[in-house]
Amino acid sequence: LKATLEKRQSGRFCPPSLSPLASEDDVGHLLAFSPHQLDAFQIVGACAALRGESAFVSAHTSAGKSLVANLAAFLTLRRASSSSSSSSSSSSSSSSSSSSSSSSSLAASASPAPCVLYLSPVKALSNQKYRELTETFREVATVGLLTGDEIKNMRAKPHIVIATTEIIRNRLLKQSG
C-alpha cells in the first residue's frame, strides 16, 4: 500500500506506514478522490483517515482540504456501515440479499445519528458544501444542513450533517446550561 502511494506521488512525499486495516481498495478510494497529485498535507490527512485516526488539516484557501474531508467522510461512513451490518447480521437470523458494493451497503444502513459532522465558519460555505456533498454522496448517504437560515434533511436522520460553527456552539451551550 505504501508503495502504491509512493509510486503515485513520485517522490513528493513519503507517507507514514499504513496500518494493516488499510487495503488496496482504500488506496484506490483515496486516489479516486483526487484528479491530480496529492500535496503532503493531503497525504498525511488521508493516511490518518485510512487508519481511522483524527487529523487536523490546515492549509490556505482552495488548497484541497475538502479532498481529505471527503475521503475521511467516505471511510467513516463505510466503517459505520460495516459495523452496523456486521452487528445486525450477527443478531438477525433472517436472510437478505447483500451486495459486495460499499455504496449499496452504505445506502442501506439506517444511521440513528450522524456519522460525520462537517463544520464551516459561514453560512455561504455551509450551503456550498451541502450542495457538493449531496452530489458527491448522493448514492450512499443522506446529507443534512444546519445554519441560522436553513435546516434541510434533518428529519431524514442524515449520515452527514453540515453546520456552521456558531449553530453547533449555540446548541452545545443550550444543552449544557
Scan for cell 455504496, then name that residue.
103
Return d(Cα 22, Cα 19) in angstroms, integer. Answer: 6
Q: Mean pLDDT lowest for which of 23-37, 95-109, 145-159?
A: 95-109
Inter-residue contact 114 to 144 (CB < 8 Å): yes
Find the range with the poorest average confidence among 9-23, 105-119, 126-140, 154-168. 9-23
Q: How many domains does the chain have?
A: 2
Which CATH number covers residue 154?
3.40.50.300
Owning domain of residue 50? 1-108
Interior/surface letters 96-126, b for 16+ CB within 10 angstroms, e for the rest: eeeeeebeebbbebebeebbbebbbeebeeb
The cell numbers describing 157, all together, are 436522520
* Last residue within a domain, chosen from 80, 108, 136: 108
Residue 153 and residue 164: Cα distance in Å, rounded? Answer: 16
Query: Where among 66, 81, 108 does a domain terminate?
Result: 108
Q: What is the DSSP letter of 148?
A: S
106-126, pLDDT tens digit by residue? 444 444 566 889 999 999 999
Domain final residue, candidates 108, 133, 156: 108
pLDDT, tens digit, 9 for 90 and up, residues 135-159: 988 888 999 999 988 999 999 899 9
Residues 31 and 10 in one domain: yes
This prediction has a pTM of: 0.66
| Same domain as 99, residue 13 | yes
| Helical ranges in 52-101 per DSSP H | 65-91
* Per-residue model confidence (pLDDT) at position 166: 95
